[in-house]
Amino acid sequence: MEYLHHLGKYELGKELGEGATSVVREAVHTESGKKYAMKIFKALSKKSCFDNEVEALLAVDHPNVVRVHEVFEDAERGRLEDRVDPCPPSHRPGRFSREMSTPSRSSEKVGKSLRKSSFDDDKDDPPTLSETATTENESESSGDSVPSLLSCQEGEFQATSTTSVEAKEELFAVPPRTPPQPKRTYTTCGTRAIVLPLSSNGDVLSYLLDGGAFEERVARTLFKRCLEAVQACHNAGILHRDVKPDNLLFTENFDVLLSDFGFSRRRPDDEENVKLYGDLGSRGYIAPEVGDGKGYDHRCDLWSLGVTLFVMMTGRPPYASESPRDYWFNLLLNRRYSRFWRVVELLHKHSFPDMFKDLINKMLCPEPAERITIEKALEHPWMREQLLSQNDLASIMRNHSNN
């Protein structure tokens, strides 16, 4: 894409991150001098990604969801674009990025396996019969023996045929408010972009990469706000479809904000039970029903939330890939939770709270109809335990990388 130096009344600065469809750059308003994050969509990216993100950002008004400041679109098409007033300081998000080309902090503890690439097969219509048959044939042909173990070396999962506990131990020694009414204004040039408030505190994954897993009270406090943010999206009819630590940004005071709605989809008001078929999301966080050809709904976000909570508490992903041939994923698909946790605790050399494990089991349930709802997750016994005040949370997070 063309390297821009100015866009509208913004002077563009350093690159903050890059994803499959966009680049995020620092932007300074030439009149006020305020700094923002500008998400500039690539010329070859699908316009639906831009439209979906703008629609979602304007539809959801919640203190834990990033808010749009201004929208730019090709004025040559003669379209009027939305612009909303700047959000208050309490809603300042951190670095806005779906996929960072390199981690913003060094990583020896979590590794590359946490930062997966997003992929986009944006077919939200039901598959044809020929496509379904092809998928089924591929599934049948992949029925090889499941790898009995995955080792984690330098943050990467690798298959191995070892099955003994001793060998494992050696390998593993390591409701929404009405959003503000946008003003109507023309934009300039042929570039599609979204202007968002800027924060210097980065995303949740950066802190996991630098300081390792969060302590239980920190994970619970952050996760409660994540649940409430996704709940607000669902109440507004928005499916996020890309919930992960990369997309949870820290404000100036370390409140957490859900961001990156490029894969989101708004459910029509008259279609309560509509199903989607697009193969969208980030590897490592995608629910089993996504891409199986049978369709899925908002419950796919609950699976992604479960993976996110697991990563917060353990500092590692629960599995390497969404495949029955993946040892860990296979345990979850077959609901062999006792064995799953026995090996996880062997890896970490300590046990996790029973109520935490119970919540994870209910969120990582392979059957969407039996997966726990957000409302019940918020009422779960583990979620009702001690939470941190905002000041205590900020104090702990500032020192997290030094622990």
For residue 68, the number of C-alpha atoms closer than 13 Å in the C-beta half-sphere is 26
**Residue in the block written with tokens 């979620």:** 383
**DSSP code of 385?**
S
d(CA 403, CA 383): 25
How many whole angstroms separate alpha carbon 37 and alpha carbon 316? Answer: 29
242 labelled catalytic:
yes
The whole-angstrom separation of Cα 210 and Cα 206 is: 6
Cα 71 to Cα 196: distance, rounded to the nearest angstrom: 9
Q: Please report which helix (H) or strand (E) contains residue 193, including its range.
A: strand 193-197
What the block records as the tokens of 293 is: 């050809």
Which of the residues 203, 210, 242, 246 is marked catalytic?
242
Residues 384-402 as b/e (b if ≥16 CB within 10 A, e otherwise) read eeeebeeeebbebbeebee
**Residue 204 belongs to what H/E stretch?**
helix 204-211
Compute the half-sphere exposure of residue 246: CA atoms within 13 Å on the CB side of its CA: 28
Closest CA to 187 of 313, 50, 9, 307: 9
| Contact in structure between 162 and 148 (CB atoms under 8 Å) | yes
Token digits of residue 20:
């499959």
* C-alpha–C-alpha distance, residues 11 and 15, integer Å: 12
User: How many whole angstroms separate alpha carbon 188 and alpha carbon 79?
Assistant: 11
Beta strands 22-29; 10-18: pairing state:
antiparallel
How far is residue 27's CA from residue 400's CA, in Å, rounded to a whole number? Answer: 29
Lookup: tokens for 148: 């009995």
Cβ-based burial of 375 (10 A; exposed 0-12, middle 13-18, buried ≥19) = exposed
Residue 38 host element (H or E)? strand 35-41
How far apart are the C-alpha atoms of 313 and 323, rounded to whole Å? 23
Q: Which residues are catalytic?
A: 242
